[in-house]
Amino acid sequence: MKLSKMPNIGTVLEKRLIEAGIDNSEQLKHTGSKDAFIRVKIIEHDTCFSTLCTLEGTIQGIRWHYLNDDKKEELRKFFDAMK
């Protein structure tokens, strides 16, 4: 599936993911949100926490706003450890 057809992914993030070597939904799911985030961050150094949540929500098939609190906390710790 084309990335921009997935929840949370617009054309800008789709372009960044493709630049990072992830060009379809199966690749994104296989890569996982954290590794996909790292790949995008290497290209776009100012990639933010919301992007990490966006990627996780996309993989789960939900709007990222609906991630449960435990998952958000896990992602926050991962993001903060990258600083």
Mean pLDDT of the chain: 96
Enumerate residues 6+ apart whose C-beta is below 8 A from 2. 14, 24, 25
Is pLDDT of 83 > 90? no
Domains of the chain with CATH codes: 3-81 (1.10.150.20)
Write the pLDDT tens digit of every residue in 28-39.
999 999 999 999
Query: What local confidence, expressed as pLDDT, does residue 1 receive?
Result: 87
pLDDT at 70 (0 to 100): 98
- Contact residues for 48 (Cβ-Cβ < 8 A; gap 6+): none
